[in-house]
């Protein structure tokens, strides 16, 4: 039997509409689909297989999750390149007026498609191809942040 790595890919427009809607329902829907795809494909792992594609067909992996804080539930999203190797966006989802938040998320994905991303430390825009070597796990840093802090942290890592 061939083992497949399943993926659930939704269009950019459906992804945005779901983010504007009921987040707990969206999380449940994604989890239900993930479980079905895992069962059908024989995939043994619980990796998140949720993706959306932009208008050019470029895919981005994402995870939605909720955390309890006092009596409040806080929802967050992380978005990576389609391989899950490079973090492109992470943030807490506002419960009201999400348009600005969603606009920033989509903008960051569009910029990544053009070869640019924000430094994972200082947030300035960098050329991804030039700075990809400045990597600590899924994060990529500008030369300044890498050389002043992250390079030493990465060297001390015991993989």
How confident is the model over 18-69, as pLDDT tens digits?
999 999 999 999 999 988 888 888 777 767 789 999 888 899 999 999 887 7
Task: Report percent pLDDT > 90 for the chain.
Answer: 70
**Burial status of residue 55 (CB atoms within 10 A of its CB: 0-12, 13-18, 19 or more):** exposed
pLDDT at 12: 92
pLDDT at 46: 67
Residues 6+ apart with CB under 8 A from 30: 8, 50, 64
pLDDT at 4: 67
- Give Cα separations from 63 to 22, 72, 76, 143 (angstroms): 15, 20, 8, 28
- Give Cα separations from 144 to 57, 117, 129, 134 (angstroms): 33, 15, 16, 10
Higher pLDDT, 47 or 144: 144
pTM of the prediction? 0.89
3 band by pLDDT with thresholds 50, 70 and 90: low
């Amino acid at each position: 039997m061939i083992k497949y790595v399943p993926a659930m890919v939704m269009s950019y427009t459906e992804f945005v509409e779901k983010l504007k809607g009921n987040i707990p329902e969206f999380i449940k829907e994604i989890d239900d689909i993930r479980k079905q795809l895992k069962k059908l494909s024989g995939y043994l792992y619980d990796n998140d297989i949720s993706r959306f594609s932009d208008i050019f067909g470029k895919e981005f992996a994402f995870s939605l999750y909720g955390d309890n804080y006092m009596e409040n539930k806080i929802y967050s999203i992380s978005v990576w390149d389609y391989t899950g190797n490079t973090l492109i966006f992470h943030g807490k989802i506002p419960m009201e007026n999400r348009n600005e938040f969603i606009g920033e998320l989509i903008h960051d994905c569009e910029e990544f498609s053009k070869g640019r991303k924000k430094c994972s430390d200082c947030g300035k825009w960098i050329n991804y191809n030039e700075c990809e070597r400045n990597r600590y796990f899924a994060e990529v840093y500008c030369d300044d942040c890498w050389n002043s802090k992250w390079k030493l942290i990465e060297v001390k890592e015991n993989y």
